[in-house]
C-alpha cells in the first residue's frame, strides 16, 4: 500500500470527489447520478492507509494518449468481469457514508430521498413495456432505428404537441383508458362484454380503435391525413399505434424547411389520432 495518484479528464469529476463530496454525503447522495459507484469509490479511498490524490489530467502527447486508451480498455474489461463474476474485493461498508445529516435536512430533501428509495423498488407495468416495445418496433421498421425509452417519453412530451395530445398519448402508453381487456377484470358479464368492438365483434384495444376498426371514422380521417401529407411531397404510410406514440421523433429534410415538415408531421399524426378517439 502506497500513496495513490488518480487523474481524471473532467474538472467536474475532481470537484465531485473532493470539494463537493462532503455536502453530497450530508444530503445522503439524494439526486446524485451514479451514487452507488461514488459511494464505493469514497469507501475505497477512506479504507486506504496512505493518502489519495485526485487531480485533473494535463494535456498528453501521443504516447501518453495511447497508454491512457489501453488503461481505459482494461478498465472496461474489468467492469464487464465485475458484472459477470461479482467484485473480488469490496471496501469496508463502515467507510461508506449513508443517510441524511439531520442538520442539513429540509422537507423537500427528505421527500426526494424517500421517493428515490421507493422508485428503486418500482416495477414498470407490463402494459407500458408492451407499448414501448411497439413504439420501438415501428421506428425500427419505418426509419431503421430503435429509440430508447427516454427518447420515446421525451417525444410524447414534445412542445410541438398540444397539451391534450400529450395527455392522450401518455394514457395510450399506459393503456389507461377503459377499453379492451381492461373490461375483462370485472366479473359481471355486461361489463366484460364492453371489451369487444360492436362493429367488428373482437377485443377492442386502442390500436383497433385508431387503425383497424371497420367503422368509417378512422379510415376517413387517415385518408384525409394522407392527402395532406402527400401534398408535402412525402410518401404516406398508414400509422400503427407505435407510429402514433413516436410521431415526434422522425426527422424530414426533403424540402428546404425540414424542421417545419417535421413539426407538421407531429401535429398531423397526434391530432388525427386524437380526433379518431
Condensed to tens digits (0 to 9), the pLDDT of residues 34-84 reads 888 888 888 888 888 888 888 887 766 777 778 878 877 887 777 666 555
Bridge partners, 4 (sequence order): 52
Residue 31 C-beta-side C-alpha neighbours within 13 Å = 9
Task: Check whether residue 145 and residue 238 sit in a common domain.
Answer: yes
Same domain, 137 and 25: no
SS3 236: coil
Residue 93 shares a structural domain with residue 74: yes
Same domain, yes or no, for 144 and 222? yes
Task: Tell me the C-alpha distance between 277 and 268, whole Å.
Answer: 14
Per-residue pLDDT reduced to its tens digit, 172-224: 999 889 888 888 888 888 888 888 888 888 888 899 999 998 887 899 999 99
Containing domain of residue 160, as a range? Answer: 126-276
Domain boundary among 98, 120, 142: 120
79-93, 200-214, 252-266: the lowest-pLDDT one: 79-93
Domain boundary (72, 104, 120) is at 120
Number of domains making up the chain: 2
104 and 32 in a common domain: yes
**Are 214 and 200 a contacting pair, CB within 8 Å?**
yes
On whether both 134 and 263 belong to a single domain, the answer is yes
Tell me, rounded to whole angstroms, the distance of Cα 85 from its chain centroid.
28
201 and 69 inside one domain: no
Higher pLDDT, 92 or 69: 69
Please give the average per-residue pLDDT across 144-171, as a whole number. 93
Closest CA to 47 of 2, 97, 3, 94: 94
Q: Does 11 share its domain with 72?
A: yes
pLDDT cut 70: percent of the chain above it? 91
CA angle 161, 165, 171 (to 5 degrees): 130
Of the residues 120, 145, 175, which one is the last residue of a structural domain?
120
Q: How confident is the model at residue 135 (pLDDT cuts 50, 70, 90)?
A: very high
CA distances from 94 to 1, 48, 83 (A): 20, 13, 23
Amino acid at each position: 500500500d502506497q500513496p495513490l495518484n488518480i487523474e481524471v479528464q473532467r474538472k467536474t469529476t475532481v470537484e465531485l470527489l473532493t470539494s463537493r463530496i462532503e455536502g453530497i454525503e450530508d444530503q445522503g447522495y439524494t439526486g446524485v447520478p451514479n451514487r452507488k459507484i461514488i459511494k464505493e469509490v469514497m469507501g475505497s479511498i477512506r479504507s486506504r492507509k496512505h493518502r489519495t490524490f485526485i487531480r485533473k489530467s494535463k494535456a498528453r502527447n501521443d504516447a501518453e494518449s495511447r497508454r491512457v486508451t489501453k488503461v481505459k480498455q482494461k478498465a472496461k474489461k474489468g467492469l464487464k468481469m465485475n458484472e459477470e463474476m461479482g467484485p473480488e474485493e469490496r471496501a469496508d461498508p463502515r467507510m461508506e457514508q449513508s443517510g441524511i445529516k439531520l442538520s442539513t435536512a429540509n422537507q423537500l430533501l427528505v421527500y426526494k430521498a424517500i421517493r428515490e428509495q421507493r422508485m428503486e423498488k418500482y416495477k414498470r407495468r407490463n402494459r407500458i413495456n408492451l407499448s414501448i416495445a411497439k413504439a420501438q418496433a415501428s421506428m425500427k421498421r419505418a426509419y431503421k432505428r430503435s429509440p430508447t425509452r427516454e427518447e420515446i417519453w421525451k417525444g410524447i412530451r414534445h412542445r410541438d404537441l398540444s397539451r391534450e395530445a400529450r395527455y392522450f398519448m401518455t394514457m395510450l402508453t399506459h393503456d389507461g383508458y377503459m377499453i379492451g381487456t381492461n373490461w375483462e377484470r370485472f366479473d359481471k358479464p355486461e361489463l366484460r362484454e364492453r371489451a369487444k368492438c360492436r362493429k367488428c365483434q373482437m377485443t377492442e384495444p386502442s390500436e383497433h380503435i385508431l387503425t383497424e376498426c371497420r367503422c368509417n371514422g378512422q379510415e376517413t380521417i387517415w385518408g384525409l391525413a394522407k392527402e395532406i401529407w402527400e401534398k408535402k411531397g412525402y410518401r404516406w404510410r398508414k400509422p400503427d399505434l407505435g407510429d402514433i406514440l413516436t410521431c415526434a421523433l422522425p426527422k424530414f429534410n426533403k424540402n428546404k424547411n425540414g424542421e417545419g415538415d417535421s413539426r407538421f408531421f407531429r401535429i398531423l399524426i397526434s391530432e388525427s389520432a386524437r380526433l379518431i378517439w
